[in-house]
Amino acid sequence: LTDESKNFVERIFGANDSDWNVHVVNLKMIPQDLMPLILGSVLELYAQILFQRGQGATSPTLLVLEEAHHYLRPMPDGSSMESSLAYERLAKEGRKFGLSLWLSTQRPSEVSPTVLSQCNTWVTFKLNSEKDLNAVSSACEWADRKEISRITGLARQHAIIFGGATKVPICIKSPTANPTPDS
């Protein structure tokens, strides 16, 4: 990799000697059709540098991907996007390099099954689509039919947490936003 690529990744994700803890990269001004290509390219560079540094030579990182179904949506011909490969490699191998992945989506059926299958803990709000429920059911080893059926009946602000972080599924109520959004 070039020095320019390394400097770019370190500006976005931080270097080992960075003195900041949180960095927000807001890509909402990028058109939806370009988002998978741009974010996929950035994550490809990050993956290369992370894996090149090696285990034990990286800083603990939490990568939060909001509205992930926009980045990993299927191509019109049904094939998966090549840019999703960086996501898949980071999801499968990132833990041993200090990377945790937080995936947020309203449409799990439109996210790479490889990435979903690597998710250890799930916080699932109400889902009605059979495709989305099937995606959660097939990706999460802790989700049995009973838990999946509970997801469709959840009230507003309620979610079920299941997976590696809890011994049993837990139903929670999220606090009301303050200030409340205009949506």
pLDDT digits (tens, 9 = 90+) for 63-122: 888 888 887 664 455 454 454 478 888 888 888 988 888 999 999 999 888 888 888 899
Q: Shortest CA distance to 118 belongs to which of 42, 65, 48?
A: 65
| Residues paired with 62 in a beta bridge | 100
Position with higher pLDDT, 140 vs 127:
127
3-state secondary structure of 55: coil
What is residue 131's predicted lDDT score, i.e. its pLDDT? 94
What is residue 75's predicted lDDT score, i.e. its pLDDT? 46
Q: Are 87 and 76 in contact (CB under 8 A)?
A: no
Over pLDDT 90: what percentage of the chain?
Answer: 23
**Which tokens hold the place of 137?**
């059911």
pLDDT band at 33 (very low <50, low <70, confident <90, very high): confident
What mean pLDDT do residues 130-140 have? 90
Q: Shortest CA distance to 125 belongs to which of 92, 100, 159, 98?
A: 159
What mean pLDDT do residues 120-135 have? 93
What is residue 161's predicted lDDT score, i.e. its pLDDT? 92
Rg (CA), the chain: 18
Q: Are 104 and 65 in contact (CB under 8 A)?
A: yes
Q: Are 42 and 10 in contact (CB under 8 A)?
A: no
Q: Give the Cα separation of 36 and 79 in Å (integer).
A: 14
What is residue 151's predicted lDDT score, i.e. its pLDDT? 93
Q: Give the Cα separation of 106 and 71 in Å (integer).
A: 13
What mean pLDDT do residues 10-32 have? 80
- Residue 114 CB: number of other CB atoms within 10 A? 17
Strands annotated E in the chain: 61-65, 99-103, 121-125, 158-163, 170-173
Q: Are 106 and 63 in contact (CB under 8 A)?
A: no
CA 57 to chain centre: 23
What is residue 126's predicted lDDT score, i.e. its pLDDT? 95
* Sequence-ordered list of residues with C-beta below 8 angstroms from that of 174, at least 6 positions apart, any chain: 157, 158, 159
